[in-house]
Structure 1
């Protein structure tokens, strides 16, 4: 009887091993569509039916069976919108990394779409949190080199926008404002480059301005594609060249340089030059204002990257 019991035990162990092996192969060889993660911009929320809610439904309509996660930063839509102005960006990125790591639908990799400031925030996720793997990143009007101005703020009320402008004017690089005002954390003053490099707690870090974090470079270069959409008639992002990693030349706020002319590219601090040479960087344009594009344009130009 003892021998028979051991035989049954061995059989069960073998069956268990076979089942786990088959399950692992099924998961790792999943042929379904790659999931998509979306991060909204300033003054928006995860589920606004006129913005992110519409984009989510459009992607689901065009790619059957796809899983789309539109990130909600907070416990409600109202809190999500408020956090887009007043929650420390580094804390937001850490929160999102935790959300993604726990989502079982994303463990085999995902594509990401960042709208406006959500673009540089998702790039920070790619650089800081390589697991689960971000495969492609598409940014729409993302401010990759920051902004120097806030000409058209999309807050719920003018009071919010006026408050932000006052805080930025008082001192964008003071610790209290850097810690608690999102837009200050990607404020890039070309007239005070040294102060920006020293005090910027988010953008200067992810753009390797104070030193080289090799993991940032290694992780970003793992992307299969980095697609950057520039809005040619953008009245919000100043300068619009930031949407392609360009910015104002040092010491003034009129003439700009391109990504390829920047030290970030020429010294390959983030691996962008290597990625560009490998065909991993894609530069798209839209003849519209900030985040203004047609459904037809999106389906024609963006959906193919998600398939």
Structure 2
């Protein structure tokens, strides 16, 4: 009897180790690039170590690392998403589907890919600190000088919805001012669209519901994303910036198809102690790697 059990376990183990794990696509956040060895480069290595060396595509926007870094601040998300959709469609290794991990703003950008470009099919979307309802505040600004960060902050507070700001500054496209909701809805050039806040685009909802799983990770001690609840697709109640409106009471819950995802058991919310994108290697192994297998 014991020999039979050992044989079954051995067969299972060999099947697991030799199994082909879906390719993984990653999109970095603001102030990062596709391939820094201390950031996404190390994540790519970690994934490959724990998934039988599966194919990992860490997205590089533009033709070089400099442009990729600048894209996080100065290339409109619509252009970036269009570029990424083209890159994914041309990658034959992704033809049968892939799992996706978005870091910070890369989370909402990859969601836009899922909604706008269902081929090749995204299967699992993991958003690490993504700001799905936008931000209203920029207390810290990674990888930029303090003076530059302060300049960007002032622009966002006073001119986020000016035409030139929407065109030139990525963070303006998901700046969500709850005190100026009408202006936000009429002048935002990215977030309003992908959140279906003007018209209930049925195609966006249908494509999002093709996911097998949509996982949102919130950093519980986040000092960068305001409000941090945006990482779980929640935001301030319109007209003030203190009270958080629960997701199930929001317009996007039904209009974007999140309610159906929730009813189908495809919507997951994870919380991790730590500041923005500060998580341990072991937490990633324990909580994220199983989602990729």
Q: TM-score range by the shorter chain?
A: over 0.9
The 5 A counterparts of 1:210-289 are: 210-265=198-253, 268-289=254-275
Shift of 1:227: 0.2
Q: Distance in 1 between matches of 2:245 and 2:39?
A: 31
The 5 A counterparts of 1:109-188 are: 109-188=97-176
- Give yes or no for the alignment of 1:205 onto 2:197: no
1:290 is aligned to 276
Q: Tell me, yes or no, if the aligned pair for 1:73 and 1:92 is still in contact at 8 Å.
A: yes
The 5 A counterparts of 1:26-45 are: 32-45=20-33
Q: In structure 2, which of residues 37, 56, 59 is the aligned counterpart of residue 71 of structure 1?
A: 59
Q: Distance in 2 between matches of 1:210 and 1:261?
A: 17
TM-superposition CA deviations, 1:156-176 (whole Å, max 9, x none): 322431231132134100111
Q: Tell me, yes or no, if the aligned pair for 1:155 and 1:161 is still in contact at 8 Å.
A: no
TM-superposition CA deviations, 1:199-230 (whole Å, max 9, x none): 00100000011111111011000000000000
Which runs of structure 1 show a deviation greater than 6 angstroms over 4 or more consecutive aligned residues? none
Q: Distance in 2 between matches of 1:159 and 1:127?
A: 36
Q: CA RMSD in A?
A: 1.2
Q: For structure 1, which runs of at least 5 residues remain unmatched after alignment?
A: 1-30
**What SS does the corresponding residue of 1:283 show, helix, strand or coil?**
strand
Q: Distance in 2 between matches of 1:147 and 1:169?
A: 11
**Who wins on radius of gyration, i.e. which is larger?**
1
TM-score w.r.t. length of structure 2: 0.92
Q: Tell me, yes or no, if the aligned pair for 2:165 and 2:172 is still in contact at 8 Å.
A: yes
1:100 is aligned to 88
- Give yes or no for the alignment of 1:300 onto 2:286: yes
Q: Tell me, yes or no, if the aligned pair for 2:20 and 2:52 is still in contact at 8 Å.
A: no
- Give yes or no for the alignment of 1:54 onto 2:42: yes
Greater shift after overlay, 163-172 or 290-299?
163-172
Q: Distance in 2 between matches of 1:70 and 1:171?
A: 33
Q: Tell me, yes or no, if the aligned pair for 1:241 and 1:258 is still in contact at 8 Å.
A: no
Q: Distance in 1 between matches of 2:203 and 2:152?
A: 33
TM-superposition CA deviations, 1:11-63 (whole Å, max 9, x none): xxxxxxxxxxxxxxxxxxxx621000000000100011111111000001111
Q: For structure 2, which runs of at least 5 residues remain unmatched after alignment?
A: 1-18
Q: Distance in 2 between matches of 1:170 and 1:247?
A: 20
